[in-house]
Structure formats: C-alpha cells, structure tokens
C-alpha cells in the first residue's frame, strides 16, 4: 500500500504548494556540515510471519534506491548510536503501541526522513563503525547480496579499467584504498578523488549519474542501479581548479588528473581556444603532463562538471540549457526558442539557497523502482540587480548538481579558513576530519535546501540541506 503525504504548509520562500521539510543552523554555532540527499518517498505494507503487517520504508540516496528498512531496524540503530554519541543525536520518532492511522503513518515517515538527514550532519557519526556497519548491512540485505569476494572494474578517464579484488561489503572508502594501492596513489590524497556511477553511450559520450558516498558499497550500488551501460568510474572530486597544485608531488595523482583533463577536452566539457588546443596537443605529444595541466588552468571550464542537456526557465520558460559547474560558478549556455544562444554565469557568492523537487509520480510500486531521476528540478534563489529571484533548472541530474554546489561551498569555506584563523570549523574529508578556522563575522555563502516534493503526484520526497547562516522557519 502506497502511503501519501500530507500537503499544505507555508514557508517564507515562494516554492510550489506541498509540504516542505526544513532545518536551520545559526552563525553563533558556526558552520555545520551539509546534510545528505536522503529521502523516503514511499512506504509499503508487508505481511509478517505471524499474520500481521509491518511497514517497509524505501530509502533513497541521491535519487537511487539505497535500502528498504523497517521502523524497528532504525529504532535499534538509533539506540546503538545513542549509546556512543549520547544526546547529540536528532530526535527519533516515537513508538506507537496501537494501530496507526494514515496520517500517523505519514508523520512517522516524514520524521524518519528528517532523522536520516539530520544524523548525517555530524562528520564523526558518518565515520563511526556503528553508523557504517548498519548501512552496509541494510544495503546488502535489500538487494539480496551476501558478503563474498568479488572483482569490480573501476574505469579511468582514458577508458582503461582497473580490476579491484574486493568484498561485496567493501565501502567506497575501502575500494578507493585498494585502487590507490594499484595505481601508486598517495593515501593522503584520496580525499581529492571519488567514485562515480557513470553511464557510457555508444557514440562515446558519457553522463555522470551520481557521486557515491563514502559509506556506500560500490559493488551493490552498481548491481542495483538499473542504469544501462553504467560503470563505476574514478574521477577527481573537487571543483576548484587551483587545487591541482595540491597533487603535483604525486606522480600517480598527476597522471589521473592529466587523463581527466584530456577526456574533458575531448568531450568538450573544457573548451580551449584554437591556440590553446594547439599548445595542449603539442604538450600531449611530448607527454609533458605538468605543463599540460598548467596550461589547462587557463582553459574555459577546465575542472568543471558538465551536466547533460536540460531545460530551464531563464531567460524564457522551456529554454534549452547546458550547465557547467565549477570554480564557484554555474555556467549556463542557454538556447532560446529562436535557436539563439546566450551564455549566463551565476556566481555562487550570490546564491542564497536551493531546493530539489521531484515532479513526477512513482509508478509500479510493486516493482523495483530504484531511481527517481525521471522528473527533477533544482531551483535556486539568486541575487540579481539587488533582488532575490528564483531560477529553475529541470534536469535528471539535479541531485548531482546539488552535490556540486555543496562541494563548491565546502571548498570555499576551507580556503577562507586558511586565510582567517579565527574560529574553528570541522570539514569532513575522506576517512578523517581536518579542523580549520574562520572569522566569526564571515557571511554565509549559501543556505542549501534540497527539498524533494511532488507537485501533482501521489508521493512526496523531501530533504533539506543547510550550510551557513540563519534560516527563518515558519509554519513548521
């Protein structure tokens, strides 16, 4: 049985009519980690062995089915986390000892969704064994995969693959360690790289579908993705091109970002001028990787993440758009209805917040339904001409776009921290945390809401992310 959400709630931002989930953080407490894109769009009633029924919650992460769990499983997990972390955990929805009404069931699902989002804010919790072990177990159980030895092909930007001998229960963090050992990549540089689900097309094009979280199981994520010609790829995971300089002392790291630079130019994600292209081709023939990367810094959109063609409401509704995200900006090449093109750049320091919305309806709920990428929009509030306006982008990669925006903000915070050693903040990194400092008076770069909601559908998906600053809440 498909549970439907409540609707109707006011909020200060002009968003579509639907119930929105939100959270807040204050400057007094300093910047906090951003929430992950967890959501529970649906719950289903299942028969149990005793003739009764229980509710099974479908938990999605970044638009892909992550696991299916019962309330009792999450309740036990919360108790385990509370024994380790005490009262710093977010509130967990209470037990009901009588039969739940539909509205009570919807409220519980919403509360569980908020709990999953809020529990990911603390980087110490994300790295804890009790957190990771539970999520490993439910991922395996959901897709009926047992822990065993397996080979996983990890694709490099030049099309070659590395065969990693792993366990099916190995996390992204562990798989990256295996791959780094094979490549000779310095372990302290692992935080600059990530594993991605990438779809490859026959004509040579590729589409980055998702950045895998550190606690995800790459083998399971690939097996359960249901995306045609999908593979696990290794790419650098930073959007500030100047961070290349941090990798120059490691030959394997230089080789990886060099191969990705060549791929990005071949795929026209990076756009050199004719003169730049000639110089780069000459350096490539010489295999002068360092000079190639130095010159690449001057190339338009070098180090950016390019999304698939999509549509937007700027400058007119329904305009085609190609987005490139990086270097603290969203670069849009917009095609107008008369086929004229116009390039627009949105600077991240003028973005106040954003939200992701699911516009479609989940069909065939008895089937696997493992992706939510069919009808998504990302809208962001932008300061243009001293006025805050909402701009909407309709893209199946809305979750990836949101992750890129958060990454740019995180990198900006680190850079500001290095310049202003006044106040400590903690920025999560691959397998460890680093403490930085930032001025108390530093203004918020952006407040990130990622909210998943249907406008006219039977299902609701909601999630919120906060970065810095004060967020006013009303009608909660």
Helix (H) or strand (E) holding 280: helix 274-285
Helix (H) / strand (E) containing 311 = strand 310-312
Entry pTM: 0.81
* DSSP at 422: T
- Reported for 430-437, long-range contacts at CB under 8 A and 24+ positions apart, including other chains, are 430/173, 430/176, 430/190, 430/191, 430/214, 431/127, 431/173, 431/190, 431/191, 431/214, 432/127, 432/191, 433/123, 433/124, 433/127
Q: pLDDT, tens digit, for every residue of 28-73?
A: 333 445 788 998 888 888 877 777 778 899 999 998 999 999 999 9
Annotate 24-59 with b (16+ C-beta within 10 A) or e (fewer): ebeeeeebbbbbbbbbbbbbbeeeeeeeeeebbbbb
> Which of 468, 312, 340 has its CA nearest to residue 401?
312
Task: Measure the CA–CA gap between 75 and 190, rounded to whole angstroms.
Answer: 34
Taking only the tens place, the pLDDT of each residue in 184-220 is 999 999 999 999 999 998 888 899 999 999 999 999 9
C-alpha dihedral sign at 243, 246, 247, 249: positive
Residue-wise pLDDT tens for the chain (476 aa)?
A: 333 333 322 222 222 233 333 322 222 333 445 788 998 888 888 877 777 778 899 999 998 999 999 999 999 999 999 999 988 899 999 887 777 777 888 888 999 999 999 998 888 888 899 999 999 999 999 999 999 999 999 999 999 999 999 999 999 999 999 999 999 999 999 999 999 999 998 888 899 999 999 999 999 999 998 888 999 999 999 999 999 999 999 999 999 999 999 999 999 999 999 999 999 999 999 999 999 999 999 999 999 999 999 999 988 888 999 999 999 999 999 998 888 899 999 999 999 999 998 776 554 444 555 566 567 899 999 998 889 999 999 999 999 999 999 999 999 988 888 887 664 555 544 444 443 333 322 333 444 434 334 333 333 333 333 332 332 323 22
Q: What is the mean pLDDT of the chain?
A: 80
Dihedrals phi, psi of 472, to nearest 5 degrees: -85, 135
């Amino acid at each position: 049985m498909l549970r439907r959400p409540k609707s109707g709630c006011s909020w200060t931002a002009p968003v579509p009519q639907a119930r929105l989930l939100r959270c807040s953080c204050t400057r007094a407490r300093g910047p906090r980690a951003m929430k992950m894109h967890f959501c529970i769009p649906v719950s289903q009633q299942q028969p149990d062995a005793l003739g009764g029924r229980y509710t099974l919650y479908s938990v999605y992460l970044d638009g892909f089915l992550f696991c299916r769990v019962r309330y009792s499983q999450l309740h036990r997990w919360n108790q385990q986390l509370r024994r380790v972390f005490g009262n710093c955990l977010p509130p967990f929805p209470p037990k009901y000892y009588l039969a739940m009404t539909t509205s009570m069931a919807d409220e519980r699902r919403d509360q569980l969704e908020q709990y999953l989002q809020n529990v990911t804010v603390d980087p110490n919790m994300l790295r804890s064994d009790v957190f990771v072990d539970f999520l490993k177990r439910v991922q395996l159980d959901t897709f009926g995969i047992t822990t065993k030895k397996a080979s996983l092909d990890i694709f490099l930007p030049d099309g070659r693959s590395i065969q990693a001998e792993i366990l099916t229960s190995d996390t992204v963090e562990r798989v990256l360690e295996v791959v780094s050992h094979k490549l000779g990549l310095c372990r302290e540089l692992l935080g600059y790289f990530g594993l991605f689900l990438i779809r490859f097309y026959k004509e040579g094009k590729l589409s980055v579908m998702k950045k895998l979280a550190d606690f995800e199981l790459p083998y399971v994520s690939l097996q359960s993705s249901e995306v045609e010609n999908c593979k696990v790829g290794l790419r650098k995971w930073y959007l500030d091109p100047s961070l290349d300089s941090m990798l120059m002392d490691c030959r394997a790291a230089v080789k990886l970002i060099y191969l990705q630079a060549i791929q990005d130019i071949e795929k026209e994600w990076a756009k050199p001028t004719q003169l730049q292209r000639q110089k780069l081709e000459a350096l490539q023939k010489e295999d002068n990787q360092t000079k190639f990367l130095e010159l690449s810094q001057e190339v338009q959109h070098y180090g950016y993440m390019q999304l698939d063609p999509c549509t937007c409401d700027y400058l007119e509704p329904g305009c085609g758009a190609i987005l490139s995200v990086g270097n603290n900006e969203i670069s849009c090449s917009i095609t107008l209805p008369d086929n004229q093109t116009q390039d627009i750049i949105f600077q991240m320091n003028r973005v106040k917040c954003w939200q992701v919305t699911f516009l479609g309806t989940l069909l065939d709920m008895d089937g696997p339904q493992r992706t939510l990428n069919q009808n998504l929009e990302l809208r962001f509030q932008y300061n243009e001409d001293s006025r805050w306006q909402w701009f909407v982008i309709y893209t199946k990669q809305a979750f990836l776009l949101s992750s890129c925006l958060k990454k740019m903000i995180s990198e900006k915070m680190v850079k500001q921290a290095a310049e202003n050693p006044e106040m400590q903040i903690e920025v999560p990194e691959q397998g460890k945390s680093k403490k930085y400092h930032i001025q108390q008076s530093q203004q918020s770069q952006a407040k990130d809401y990622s909210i998943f909601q249907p406008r006219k559908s039977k299902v609701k998906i909601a999630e919120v992310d906060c970065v810095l600053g004060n967020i006013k809440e009303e009608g909660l």
